[in-house]
A and B are shown apart, each in its own frame.
Chain A
Amino acid sequence: MKRVTQSLAIKSIPLMLIAMLAGCSGDDGNPGNPGEPGGPPASEINSLDITVNEVLFDSGVATVNYRITNEADEPVVGIPSATYIAAQLLPQGYTNAGNASEWQYFTAESCSSSCDGEFVDHKNGKYSYTFSGPFDGMNDITYIDGATQRVVIKVGGDSLPDGTALPITNQYLDWQDEGSEPAYTRDILDIQSCNTCHDDLAFHGPAGKGKYNEVQACVTCHNLAKVSNPGNVFAPMVHTKHLTGFPVSLADCQTCHAPDEELAQNMNWARVPTMEACGSCHTNIDFPAGQGHPTQVDNSSCVACHNPDWTINAHSQEATDAVLGHFKAEIVSAELNGDTVNFAVRLSNPATNEVYSSSADKLNFINDLRVYANWGISVDYTTRSAKSIKLQDATPISGSNGVYHYRIAGLTLSADPATDKGALALQGKLCNDNAMLVDCAETDSTTIIKSSHQFFSATAVTDLGRRVVVTNETCGSCHGDQQLNYHGSRNDLEQQCQLCHNPNMLADASATNPGASTADYKHLAHTLHAGSRESYPNINYPGKIGNCAQCHTTDAAGVLTAALPLNKAVQPLAFSDGTFTSATSAICSDCHLSDTAISHMTQQGGVFKGTEADATAGTESCATCHGQGATVDVLKVHPIQ
């Protein structure tokens, strides 16, 4: 009995079946129908595009027909190897009330010099693979009519006979044997969500050669039918692996389960709570034993209490966003008067578009609202001790109707204050009860506001100020949108940290890796993420550490800010013994600190632990070769994506 599984293929059924039979019989050596020409074969391959056309059934044995092209839609002929995985999906609630949908692994079969099943290269970019036997019974799993089935095809990691390298590519088709579209799916998230932080996630193979790089492939094996340890089922496994060292609050499920309307089950994190999914983070709970949570022996009752609203409220930024939607603090004017900055703050409610007419010290929902000031952007700030004022405790000098004036005195001025600039940074905490702002006397719950900064010149606020190297957005690709709070409530990683974490910070003169001993922002950020700081020994950088673009933004001309030469404001690295390392060498040696690298930099004019005069004399010739557009441009030699 032959069953056609994809109605898309209805018109071509007879031909396909004939072709299949010819392909399957295998003993007369006839090539069968030649099939339509596939066009000229691919001449260059940067990426592979696999189109899985259909899965056909003959006596329960599946044949998958697919086509492989390059990025220009030219057929790729002569693929030397492939792996085929088949799995079946049980619908949500099928195994028991409340249970999530569940993949069941049938088989993984490979073809290279030999084949588990039958492989046909139709020599026009089209391929067929017939599995070694019926799915039903494979891996002791019963094939269920009408169930959603998945076939995964993995190719690449090797080369065509002519030596053209093939990139590793995973493709899949969800299908069912009754009707054209699967009646149900498990489309929860896409690998893109992982790759915002992980660059190019791939597993099972040597580093950089992992065979599986799509979530849709991972889940076909990481399920109860295949793995012996339930902890290796995909969802619990992934949750558990992120429990330590996660660069942002684990409480926000949407960090990974990012909203995506294309994915039908995208909201399952809130809609299908199970002890397997929830318990993989809440590891102190033993549900059946009733430890850490009232006893629950199965998933049937979870949603009775943990309904989607509850879960969204507890595990997303929704409540925080709602609170912050009622508060906005802005520095609306600023000017320098001697060593004092006079500035005005405006507090408003964006939700109602109304100003808070009282000053911060009179608003009972403000737990903390501080402004920091530093001066001297031309030299990356004049001091590491930015002055500050707590607005919730300060009586404004003047002001009314929502705009109030304050001053911060004692700034350290730079050589020519009239042409220089400074920065004000604002941070704070608000008292809330769920989504509402409430009197701090009535709650213990606070919400940290998104810190902000405002540049100013001697006379007014200005848009342009210190160079922008990293942004809250680039940091946020792993750390969430201003969700990484240091020193309580500082989260403007783009410009606030630098008010103190600037070149006035000193490196330990005796340190092996000086960059890892200073809190100057650039060195701090490089060494911290490279895992070379003593205070962060367990950093396990999730992406490629050499992908500068993960953190660095681009400038107005579209050039990545990691490019050389450096901005003129970048200062040399200062040591506790009064010595200095020239700026570029100091930065490069944050990561490249082998003797060879140091001697290379020294030969090219770099100054290590010299006098300040030498370190700033401009002897570094790094940009000659490593500058933007040069032969070994740092932007080319790093694995930048």
Chain B
Amino acid sequence: MFAIHKNIKTGQRLSVLALAISAGISPALADGYGLQNANRGKADTSKWECKRCTSESGFKGSIGIGAAYNDASDIHFGNTTGTDTDGAVGHLEADLINKSESGYETSFTANKLGYDTGSAKVETGMPGHYQIALGYRGLANYDTNAALTPYLNSGDDLYLPSNWQTGAITSQMPSLFDDINYVELKSQRDLFLLDAQYKGTFYQADINYQHEKREGKRVFSGNFLTNSAMLAEAIDDTTDEFGAKIYFNGKGWLAGIDSSFSQYKNDHNSLTWQNAFSPTFGAAYTGQSAVSPDNKAYRIGANAQLSGNGHQILVHMGLASFTQDEAFLPATINGPSPALPVTNLDGKVDTTDMKLKYTGRVIRGLSVRASYDYSDRDNKTARNPYPQVITDSYYAGTAINPEYDRTKQQAKLGAKYRFSRAIYLDSGYQYDHNDFSDLDRDSLQQNSLFARLSYSISPAWSTWIKADFSDRTGSAYNAVSTTNSPSNPYLRKSYLADRKRQEYQLSVSYSPTSPFSASANVRISQDDYDDTLVGLTKVDAQGYDISANYMFSDELSINAYLNQDWRDSDQAGSSNFSLPNWYANTDEKSTLVGAGIDYIHLLDKKLDLGFDYTYSDGQSDTEITQGLTSPYGDYFAEKHNINAFATYQLGEQMALRFDWIFEHYKDSDWLNQGLTVDSIPNVLIFGDLSHDYNAHYLGLTFSYQL
């Protein structure tokens, strides 16, 4: 009951499925042959009890302390090790539990505590009755420490050194190279969690609270007409979320409600930055941009599930409301600002979602399922004419905030038929209907069909093949006229365009009772946007996975896997607002290779060894053809990673663990590859943000078994 990853987004999406699982009832996803459909009435469950699983009372577990050397000259390595501290770094490990005779339990676990990505948790209570947990978890993302900028941060402001002299173009900024400094682009999240649950005979209640604090810096683009500067925007914000749910259950039924409230607060009210360029017009010496506004979300959902005689019905309804009323900034801070129609957006978006699902076994060997999903986004924010001051420089009339309302409906029908013990066919039909406002199309419809044939050839060999087809079309395509300059009439935006999609998959697995097992999977798909003249016209994708595992003995095992995917996208463009006259082709390729060996119980069962190697490579090559073909530059990321460990049992209670991580990482993006801060006349950039490093992590952990 300890959900770490909940945040404002996923919290809202917490599915009825997850709730059902958490409430301790059989999975709702099951389709007629799941365990919950088994006839358990005559089963002698007493035979299932684990006779040897006697729970021991008392205090036990292990505690460890570790020290490591971490090479973080490029902080990107921190994404692998969990810390960007360069040099020596220490951490705490714990896995302690105290059980009383009465069944009361208290536990403390810690993992890499002391690192940015460390975690710790204290839990106490009677498992199965009530439990309270208090936890912490750190998350971090390290982008680069090689970004160069002359800007300095202070609160909401990004300012330049006092002696800064502006230039019309970057190469005319006289003190640029004297004033630039490295800035780290990374973010750190600290999550504090509190969770309490109580389980009665026919009900279960749970309340939880989570506080998340985020700090760091990320890229922001500060624009003045045709001049732009890459800025390191400070991130300082918090999200608080409170959730409560109660579920009742009886034989064959489950019902409950869950609710949540979340609040986002940004410590920054705006982002202001000094113009590094000589103003193009007037006195545009400083720019100001709004930042993510403080906002709140409420959600309440109700779920009910009924099952019996091989039939199951699931009903869900959820209502949510999102609001923000952060005070508006003036339309411009350069000269008098045109009057705003209101002082804040008073924004409100309500969503409604519903789900109705039936699964049941009709006759022996045949089960059917049907479901209907509805979700609606209703923007209740008042529409007003807002003055537009283009990049804080000149007034360009007013624009009315669009609603972007959306209603999605989905109906699914499916059936699964078992021809024999070895062969079954699963097939389904799905209809999607979407209604939009303020988009180029008012509605989109999609019809989809799939079929999957599974065949267990022998106890060791099994295979399945799957085919999917879908056809998307919609109402008349009328390019939106609310934008400043109209769209090319031949343009079809890919997410609204007519599309035919086909996907095929073949999977084979070999898992005999022998030491060797393997599986392979091949997939191919094709998207055709056959009514599109300008826009994305075709996407072809192929891929395969192979994995194998071999256990030489109880002590020695090896595993290896290989995965490759390709995607080839075609798009057509027009430089003269008419039929296509240029074409772009993007070839993407990713490769993942891994191999590992585990050799344990060496040296009189005192030494365990593990070694894993992974290689990953992703690249994207784009070519533009307009008679002549011009390829874009490099865009790739390549990584070799070795992760090895050795643990040595020093005695009954003491153990020493040695960790070695090596990583060779290299990436590049032609957007900034080989560039310096003044390479682009009208964009003050961070310079080359490519990575290319070899880094080691060497750790020693001493642990003590209580």
Please list the residues of chain A having a beta carbon within 8 angstroms of any beta carbon in chain B: 90-94, 144, 146-148, 176, 182-184, 264-265, 267-268, 271, 290, 294-298, 300-301, 304-305, 307-309
Contact = CB atoms under 8 A, between A and B. Distances in A.
B39 interface: no
Contact of A295 (B168, B281, B581, B627): B168
A147 B627 contact: yes
A305 B393 CA distance: 12
Given A184-B581, A301-B226, A295 B628 contact: no
A295 B278 contact: yes
B426 to A, nearest CB: 47
Given A301-B682, A305-B226, 14 more contacts: A91-B627, A94-B626, A94-B628, A147-B627, A147-B628, A183-B627, A184-B582, A184-B626, A264-B578, A290-B278, A294-B225, A294-B278, A294-B281, A295-B169
B628 A304 contact: no
B681 A144 contact: no
A149 to B, nearest CB: 10
A210 to B, nearest CB: 32
B534 to A, nearest CB: 15
B626 A91 contact: yes
Interface string B683-697: 000000000000000
Interface in B607-638: 625-630
Contact of B628 (A146, A264, A267): A146
B485 A267 contact: no
A183 B626 contact: yes
A295 B226 CA distance: 10
A147 B628 CA distance: 6
A305 to B, nearest CB: 7
The interface centre, meaning the residue of A91, A94, A182, A309 with most chain B CB atoms within 10 A of its CB, is A91
Contact of B168 (A148, A294, A304): A294
Contacts, number: 69
B576 interface: yes
B164 interface: no
Contact of A184 (B169, B627, B630): B627
Q: 10 nearest interchain CB pairs?
A: A295-B168, A183-B627, A301-B226, A294-B280, A91-B626, A297-B681, A290-B168, A184-B627, A304-B226, A146-B627
B331 to A, nearest CB: 19
17 contacts: A93-B575, A94-B630, A146-B629, A184-B626, A264-B576, A264-B578, A264-B581, A271-B576, A290-B278, A294-B168, A294-B225, A294-B226, A294-B281, A296-B226, A301-B226, A301-B682, A304-B225
Nearest to B626: A91
Contacts of A94: 626, 628, 630
Query: Could you tell me the dominant secondary structure of chain B's interface residues?
Result: loop
B177 interface: no
A148 B280 CA distance: 38
Interface residues on B, range: 20 to 34
B287 to A, nearest CB: 16
B625 to A, nearest CB: 7
B577 interface: yes
Contact of B485 (A93, A144, A300, A307): A307
Contacts of B278: 290, 294-295
Interface in B569-608: 575-578, 581-582
A98 B485 CA distance: 18
Contacts of A308: 485, 577
A267 B278 CA distance: 33
Nearest to B581: A184
A182 B628 CA distance: 10
A91 B628 contact: yes
Given A146-B628, A183-B627, A290-B278, A265 B225 contact: no
Nearest to B680: A300
A182 B625 CA distance: 12
Given A308-B577, A309-B485, A176 B226 contact: no
Contacts of A300: 682
Contacts of B226: 294, 296, 301, 304-305
Contact of B581 (A183, A271, A301, A305): A183
Interface in B363-407: none
Interface in B244-299: 278, 280-281
Q: Counting chain A CB atoms within 10 Å of each CB, which of B485, B576, B581, B627 scores highest?
A: B627
A144 B630 CA distance: 12
Nearest to A94: B628
Contacts of B280: 294
B576 A183 contact: no
A290 B627 CA distance: 35
B389 to A, nearest CB: 14
A182 B627 contact: yes
A402 to B, nearest CB: 33
Most chain A Cβ neighbours within 10 Å, of B278, B280, B281 = B280
Contact of B627 (A148, A264, A301, A309): A148
A182 B582 CA distance: 12
A166 to B, nearest CB: 35
A247 to B, nearest CB: 30
Contacts of B578: 264
A127 B207 CA distance: 92
A183 B169 contact: no
Nearest to B579: A264
Interface in B485-501: 485
Interface string B669-706: 00000000000011000000000000000000000000
A298 B628 contact: no
A62 B300 CA distance: 76
B167 to A, nearest CB: 8
A94 B628 CA distance: 9
Contacts of A148: 627
B628 to A, nearest CB: 5
A272 to B, nearest CB: 8
B566 to A, nearest CB: 25
Contacts of A271: 575-577
